[in-house]
Copies of this chain bind each other. A is one copy, B any other.
Amino acid sequence: MSDHGRRRGRGGRRAGDSGTSEAILVAARGQFADHGYYGATIRGIAAVAEVDPALIHHFYGTKEALFSAAMRLPVVPSEVLTAALAPEMRPAEGELGEHLVRTALSVWESGQLKETFVGLLRSAVTNEQAAIMLREFIADSILGTLARLTGLSDLGSRAEAEYRVAMVGTQMIGLALARLVFRFPAVASASVDELAATIGPTIQRYLNGDIAIPDHGPPASGAREPTNLSEL
């Protein structure tokens, strides 16, 4: 499903590539940690790894895919969301919330995802810089994609789009923590369908229900940063 896996696989068949690929991932982890998700650049990562930026582009395609590979995420979030909301998969508008909860929970079933989630969370509660990096990644790769695919980005009010998807974030982050880390029996033992039925309407309401939107002007970190390598 994910680009980064396929490209790493293809690269791995050529002699010397696996060392290069590893050097790129090590450099990426360092640069993302030091400069955040928005601040890190492919050019900077290439310089540290001593490779041509074009090679990183060839291996990973997008900054998001590179980040996902570097952090050992088993999927690239925007790809999962794009597939889940593709015309042939997309449910009726009123069932969007339930569909999104089901999509997220299905991805979380992967053991690798759980391990990565706990690791990222550990770094975020240990280190302020890591918290910023993870916030930026979630904001861009997950919430930004969600805003785009649900049409919230086209509303003309960035504050509204950001508030709505951030509310979705509060529910889904807590669901992940309760199910994967704390394992509350009632949450851990519920099926994907049961949780989707309970929590789906919450997500639906946050996305397009009748809620009051705070009017504080656009938050500072809301700027849309380039995520495709070709823009960098």
Contact = CB atoms under 8 A, between A and B. Distances in A.
Interface residues of A, number: 53
The A interface, classified by DSSP as helix, strand, loop or mixed, is: helix
Given A121-B125, A186-B163, A170 B171 contact: yes
A113 to B, nearest CB: 15
Nearest to A138: B182
* Most B Cβ at <10 Å: residue of A179, A181, A186, A189: A186
Given A170-B174, A199-B170, A212-B197, A182 B124 contact: yes
Interface in A170-217: 170-179, 181-187, 189-191, 194, 197-199, 201-202, 205-206, 211-212, 214, 216
Nearest to A162: B186
A181 B185 CA distance: 25
A185 B221 contact: yes
Contacts of A94: none
How many protomers of this protein does the assembly include?
2
A182 B134 contact: yes
A106 interface: no
Contact of A174 (B173, B191, B198, B219): B173
Nearest to A203: B202
Top-3 shortest CB links A-B: A174-B174, A185-B219, A166-B186
19 contacts: A118-B125, A121-B121, A121-B125, A122-B125, A124-B182, A131-B183, A138-B182, A163-B198, A167-B186, A167-B198, A169-B184, A170-B174, A170-B178, A173-B182, A185-B219, A186-B222, A189-B219, A190-B214, A191-B214
